[in-house]
Structure 1
Amino acid sequence: MTGIVIVVHAPLGDAMREFAAHVLGEAGRQMAVHDIQPDDMPDERVPDVLRDIREADEGQGVLVLTDLIGATPANIAKRAVSEAQSLGTQCCVVAGLNTSMLLRALTSRDQGLADTRAKALAGGVQGCLQVD
């Protein structure tokens, strides 16, 4: 099973976990969440994210989802993933988290990291449509 770790601007992470639990039940809670506060220092948050990446790895890797590329949460995620990879953990970061991306990641996590990442990215893009 691919592990899922979310690193986003607060309070988006807790909201995403609650959304996923609303849609998927208890399976929607099976992820680590890091809500990054405006005054958080990246050097202080990276070790916690790294710990959760390592704990989430059940042998098929870990997908780290973040909201906005280039922002503090994404930079923390990138640093933690880099450190995890240097320790032998298979993991990657995907930015642009939205609800469709999260649901796809959670419902395809039994397919391994590469497929989970591909499904999450597809869900993120396909979930953005003009409705009118």
Structure 2
Amino acid sequence: MSIGLLIITHNEIGRALLKTTTNMMEVCPLATATLEVGTESDPDAMWQRAQQLIQQLNQGDGVLILTDMYGSTPSNIAYKLRREDQVQVIAGINLPMLVRVFNYATMNLKELTRKAVSGGIDGIVCCPERKPETPNQ
């Protein structure tokens, strides 16, 4: 099974997350591409480029699209590409989500989508307040 991964984000967010994850994991187990959407980007041109990337990445098992913020231009571009059986979209990409995708890269598209969402959610933790350190007396 080989799912493609397309990361559509504002500016270089996706590229930085992908580079960090690849460095941490020492491998990129999926056919992957990033699409960087800047403030000056033409959404229609970006959508056309995203379609091309989907065609390149889809080896028959589908493509998972990760985007940064729901309702933003990158997210809207991604959502227009969503097709239940071949293209899934998740907004809110974070490093734990991407690590989870890398760790479960052999799953089918539906299962991988669920794992990615759970990884993103589980990776958000409100750190407890630290107690002030007291000097040794």
Above 0.5 in TM-score? yes
After TM superposition, give the deviation of residue 109 of structure 1 in Å. Answer: 2.0
- Identity percentage of aligned residues: 28
Q: Is residue 131 from structure 1 mapped to residue 124 from structure 2 by the alignment?
A: no
Cα distance in structure 2, aligned partners of 1:10 and 1:125: 23
Provide the aligned C-alpha RMSD in A: 1.8
Q: Deviations over 1:47-99 (max 9, x none)?
A: 111111121112211100001000000011112x14xx4xx971111001000
Cα distance, 1:30 vs structure 2: 4.2
Structure 2: 5+ residue runs without aligned partners? 129-137
With normalisation by structure 1, the TM-score equals 0.89
Q: How many residues align?
A: 127
User: Paired residue for 1:118?
Assistant: 114
Matches within 5 A, 1:11-50: 11-27=12-28, 30-50=31-51
Moved more, 10-19 or 111-120: 10-19
Q: Which runs of 5+ in 1 are unaligned?
A: none
How far apart, in 2, do the equivalents of 1:70 and 1:12 lie? Answer: 16
Q: Secondary structure at the match of 1:32?
A: strand
- Map 1:100-111 → 2, pairs under 5 A: 100-111=96-107
User: What amino acid is aligned across from residue 13 of structure 2 in structure 1?
Assistant: L
Q: Higher Cα Rg: structure 1 or 2?
A: 2
Alignment of 1:3-18 (within 5 A): 3-18=4-19
Task: Give the alignment of 1:47-66 within 5 angstroms.
Answer: 47-66=48-67
Deviates more, 1:61-70 or 1:25-34: 25-34
Paired residues of 1:46 and 1:76 also in contact (CA < 8 A)? yes
Name the SS for the 1:13 alignment partner.
helix
Aligned to 2:132: none
Distance 2:63 2:115 in 1: 14
Q: CA deviation at 1:41?
A: 1.1
Matches of 2:71 and 2:90 in 1, distance apart? 12
TM-score normalized by the length of structure 2: 0.86
**Greater helix proportion:** 1
